[in-house]
Amino acid sequence: MHFHQQTVFAVTPRQLPGDVRGFVNRQAELAHLSTLVAKDVGEPFVVAVAIIAGTAGVGKTALALHWAHSVRDHFPDGELYVNLRGYDPGPPATPEQVLDRFLRDLGVPATSIPAELEDRAALFRSLLASRRMLLLLDNAATVGQVRPLLPGTASCLVLITSRSRLSGLVAREGAYRLGLDVLTENDAVSLIRSVTTRYRADDQPDDLVEVVRLCARLPLALRIAAERAASRPLMMLNELIADLRDESVLWDALTAESEEEADAVRTVFAWSYRALPDPAARLFRLLSVHPGPDFSLEAAAALAGMPAAHVRRLLDVLVGAYLIEQSAPGRYQIHDLLRAYAAEQARQFAADGDEALIRLVSWYLHTADRAQHALAPYDAYRLPDDAPPGITPLSFAQPETALRWYETERTNIVSVVRAAAAAELHGLTWRLAAALRVIHAQWNAFDEWETIGTLGAASAATDGDLPGQAMLLEGLGKLYVQTRRLDQAETGHLGALEIRRRLGDRFGEGLSLNALGLLALRRRRLTEALARFEESTLVFSALGDDTNAPLRWTALTRANAAEAQIELGRPAAAAEILSGTLPVFRDLNDRFSEGNALFLLSRTQRAFGDIEAARHSIDAAMAIATAADNLAWQGYWLLELARVQRAAGHPAEALTSYQRSAAIQRQLADRSREALALDGTGETYFELARPAEAVNFHRLAITTHRDLGDHWHHALALTNLARALTQTNHPQEAQTTWHQALTALAPFDDPTAIALRQSALRQINPD
């Protein structure tokens, strides 16, 4: 039986946005970029990093995308793309956020993504070491934003666009920099003709040159002006030129490398904006209120307070005018210069913008509410009010569609919560954070969870909503438990408990007591955990069963108490508890809780020596996991099936179950439970009188538990290793390991730990 320790992720991302429609010119620049790619796909690239640098609106992204599409065949392992938002009005994308997304896109499960930037960057470099990929990092602001995203080998090519020269990358990483200037006059005329040729065949060369001059040969301004001309085929170009020349300079927020370029874009934007129908102009202004890098049709409809079908037509008008672009079906984005211009215009209608932000945050709130109910109806936060008029939230028939919506919108959601908090919309802020707790837990979105949860808790406190503050402190406590920051978790849960007791919120008090019990169980403070669970059970029992919530929570806390009793070596007490909770879970059709109770029941029956009953219970649990197609349940409950098989004298079957469990945990990137499967495999080999093989598996488990800071399972694995070494020809190493196990067991005072310490002492001092 052999376990492979290296996880292989077979995901080939193809993330390049669509090629630029009507791309013309830039032949010299394209030729320069093409020299970076060797003709032979297997040869290394000339440089590992290339930068396209130039002023705003000069066409850096268009050039990068057009060239990237032309060389896709040189990158068989795919492409990664990100807009770093270096010049957006909101905060730029951080390296931590980008690496989190890239790692997920490469197939790394969320539970395997490290918390620290350095560790994420190292894992990213490892995954790309044997791949040949293109990375397009668009709109970078600083070297520090980019450097953690660079692969460690020349098998990948990184293409960066920036208004900055990023000289640090040139000096340290040897990056190739292509400076992008405005178009030549001839190329600028060609761009205009490519847009207008089907509509305006008789434009005079001198007039075209004048348009080029007024647009300062900037592609962004040229495309907008050309589209305006194409949309008025019967109007003489010299009339349009006069209109453009006379346009007042309304905007001085833009900075560019020369005053001529600044004047050009100001004039062209104002000229095009003033030509819009009033509804389209209003929508253009309101789009600047959306704080994220892109937006959906439904979000735009919420901003406008109008039906989506109507807004779709207005968005088509804006796309046709080159004021926004469609990035994917139903999704749009706006150039940061145009967003800034739209925001300037929106300031003249401040009240409309304020109302639009409220509608937008409300749309995200009520859509997130429907997503959380699709994912976890038992644990969802209940909004007190329906969606306000003019808001049409999305609905989700399946949990998978809810998670897909979150995955698409996750960057926007953080920006929306920040914007709501900054606008002092505190009630909406903390409710949105509350509605997202379940989603964050399901998706393991630890970075977003912490940011949004912290903002939400602060907003609830400012809003004076103590129940909301307690709920969000509890959510942060759960986050900190999952990320192994147990002291911070305790602070959050104790803070929530204090508020709930002050309010007389008995149901909330029960939730906090149960959470503190789970925290104590994680720390293996078993007596404390049992006391917390029993106190929580009393609280829920006293609430009665007018609704299913107290009934379910009473059963849940009792089942948690049963687990504590098992760990304390009291299987009879645990079995008695579980016999009462199982019917409750079945009546409520709470399949996970039923399966977990059966898993625990099997442990008690095995402790009694009733192996047949234990096998029946764990088989029933496995049937639930299989029917639900839930790998997490299957992987964990397989550990108990293997123990039952060992107890029944079927070690070969046990090895198969441990192997299946380890494979599943590896797929889910749950290193802790994978280590449990490896340690169990070692125990099985020891029982088969094959101690040398047992030693190898115990060593693997020890390394993982030590790395994760799991002191209890680290101590258990050390004990198992010492026992296996005793049966090999390494007596001195066995003695050293027994001493290590004794030290590791010292902090624990439960009966199992005491028995293991006594066993270790007997091995160290046999006399």
Q: What burial class does residue 252 get, using C-beta atoms within 10 Å of its C-beta: 0-12 exposed, 13-18 middle, 19+ buried?
A: exposed
Q: Is residue 88 part of a domain?
A: yes
Task: Tell me the average confidence (pLDDT) per consecutive run of 10 residues in the chain, 767 residues long.
Answer: 37 84 82 80 72 88 92 90 86 91 86 82 88 93 93 87 90 88 88 84 84 84 84 81 61 40 71 88 96 94 96 93 88 87 90 94 97 86 86 92 92 95 96 94 84 96 96 94 88 97 95 96 95 96 76 94 96 96 93 94 97 97 90 92 97 96 82 92 96 96 91 96 93 94 95 94 86
Where among 179, 201, 234 does a domain terminate? 179
Q: Residue 6: what pLDDT?
A: 34
Give the helix, strand, coil percentages of the chain, each rounded to 5: 65, 5, 30
Instruction: Please indicate, yes or no, whether residues 131 and 201 belong to a single structural domain of this protein.
Output: no
Question: Residue 252: helix, strand or coil by DSSP?
Answer: coil
Contact 137, 15 (CB under 8 A): no
Phi, psi angle pair for 609, to nearest 5°: 85, 5
Asked if 39 and 113 sit in the same domain, the reply is yes
DSSP 3-state of 277: coil
- The residue ranges of DSSP E strands in 115-185, in sequence order, are 134-140, 157-162, 176-179
**134 φ, ψ to 5°?**
-110, 130
Amino acid at 220: L
Do residue 170 and residue 53 come from a single domain? yes
Instruction: With residue 674 as reference, give the H or E element that holds it.
Output: helix 671-687
Residue 112 lies in a domain: yes
Does 86 reside within a domain? yes
- Are residues 80 and 204 both part of a single domain? no
In terms of residue numbers, what domain contains 120? Answer: 27-179
Burial class (CB in 10 A: 0-12, 13-18, 19+), 210: middle
User: Per the domain annotation, does 31 fall within a domain?
Assistant: yes
Which SS3 state, helix, strand or coil, does residue 524 take? coil
Residue finishing a domain among 225, 245, 265: 245
Q: Does residue 148 lie in a domain region?
A: yes
Count of structural domains within the chain = 2
Q: DSSP E strands: which ranges in 32-97?
A: 49-53, 79-83
> What does DSSP say about strands 157-162 and 49-53: parallel, antiparallel, or unpaired?
parallel
Question: Could you give the CA distance from residue 201 to residue 314 in angstroms, rounded to a whole number?
Answer: 28
When computed from its CA atoms, the radius of gyration of the chain, rounded to whole angstroms, is 31
Which CATH number do you get for residue 88?
Answer: 3.40.50.300
pLDDT at 261: 58
Residue at token pair 């909406």: 428
CB 681 within 8 A of CB 662: yes
**CA neighbor of 103 nearest in space, from 566, 562, 402, 444:** 444
359: burial class by Cβ within 10 Å (0-12, 13-18, 19+)?
buried
In-domain check, residue 547: no
Residue 387: predicted pLDDT:
86
Contact predicate 192/229, CB 8 Å: yes
193 in the same domain as 174: no
Q: Strand, helix or coil at 109?
A: coil
405 vs 298: CA distance, rounded Å: 12
Same domain, residue pair 217 and 135: no
Q: Please, which residues have CB within 8 angstroms of residue 498's CB and are 6 or more apart in sequence?
A: none
Tell me the C-alpha to C-alpha distance, in Å, between residue 20 and each of 64, 312, 359, 498, 677. 10, 21, 33, 57, 51
DSSP 612-633: HHHHHHHHHHHHHHHHTT-HHH
Task: For the full predicted model, state whether its pTM sits above 0.85.
Answer: no
Please tell me whether residues 38 and 100 are part of one structural domain. yes
> 52 with 174, same domain?
yes
**Residue 338 covered by a domain:** no
Which of left, alpha, beta for 22 (phi over 0: left; psi -120 to 50: alpha)? left
Asked if residues 599 and 633 have their Cβ atoms less than 8 Å apart, the reply is no
Contact 274, 247 (CB under 8 A): yes
Q: How far is CA 695 from CA 639, 649, 654, 737, 748, in A?
A: 19, 21, 17, 12, 24
Residue 35 burial (10 A CB sphere; 0-12, 13-18, 19+): exposed
Q: Is residue 208 part of a domain?
A: yes
Same domain, 99 and 225: no
Spatial separation of the C-alpha atoms in residues 739 and 745, rounded to whole Å: 10
Q: What values do phi and psi take at 59, rounded to 5?
A: 100, 25
- Same structural domain, 226 and 141: no
Between CA 143 and CA 60 the distance in angstroms is 17
Tokens describing residue 210 = 């004048």
Query: Are residues 172 and 32 part of one domain?
Result: yes
Q: Pick from 245, 261, 291: which residue ends a domain?
A: 245
Same domain, yes or no: 61 and 153? yes
> What is the DSSP-derived secondary structure letter of residue 295?
E
